[in-house]
Amino acid sequence: MRVVLLGPPGAGKGTQAQKLSEKLGIPHISTGELFRSNIENGTKLGLEAKRYLDAGDLVPSELTNQLVDDRLSEADAANGFILDGFPRSTEQAKALHAMLERRGTDIDAVLEFRVSQEELLQRLKSRGRADDTDDVILNRMKVYRDETAPLLEYYRDELKTVDAIGTMDEVFARALRALGK
């Protein structure tokens, strides 16, 4: 099963991706983790990404796309994966479609974890990160909305909305139901 997870910062995507990965026996592929591991291992793509990150810039889509494409080529992703943090734009979604088309496959499901803005503010502030001020959090939510609204339309045929309010296990049960599991 090939699944894309969408949702704002604080919606619990990483937690649910890990639980789904364990339950379905497919890898959880996080772009943040891909960047970290490629940088730590000193790969060519990792070093290139590090230059952008160190300068405080966004890593260009072409570079992110290549990292994801390389990861999808690994044996453990042959029968499926949970993508977390990618795609972030329609451009990246089209690139993902092309990657999968070359492999003779496509996305099976897109789960959107939906949480109210008030709940997200509360969750993110309770994490205790120094940079999680109201302004920073609200800006991250706006960036997410601006980037993701077109993705919801792009994936309208595969999209399933998951209410992400409740305990981890309640949300997990909803996610499994949305996937027909």
Residues forming the annotated binding site for ATP? 10-15, 127, 166
Tokens representing residue 135 in the block:
């302004």
Distances (CA, A) of 96 to 47, 93, 106, 120: 23, 5, 9, 28
Measured CA to CA, the distance from residue 86 to residue 101 in angstroms comes to 17
Show binding-site residues.
10-15, 31, 36, 57-59, 85-88, 92, 127, 129, 140, 166
Measured CA to CA, the distance from residue 80 to residue 108 in angstroms comes to 9
CA nearest neighbour of 111 among 89, 72, 83 = 83
CA atoms within 13 A on the CB side of 113: 30
Show binding-site residues for AMP.
31, 36, 57-59, 85-88, 92, 129, 140
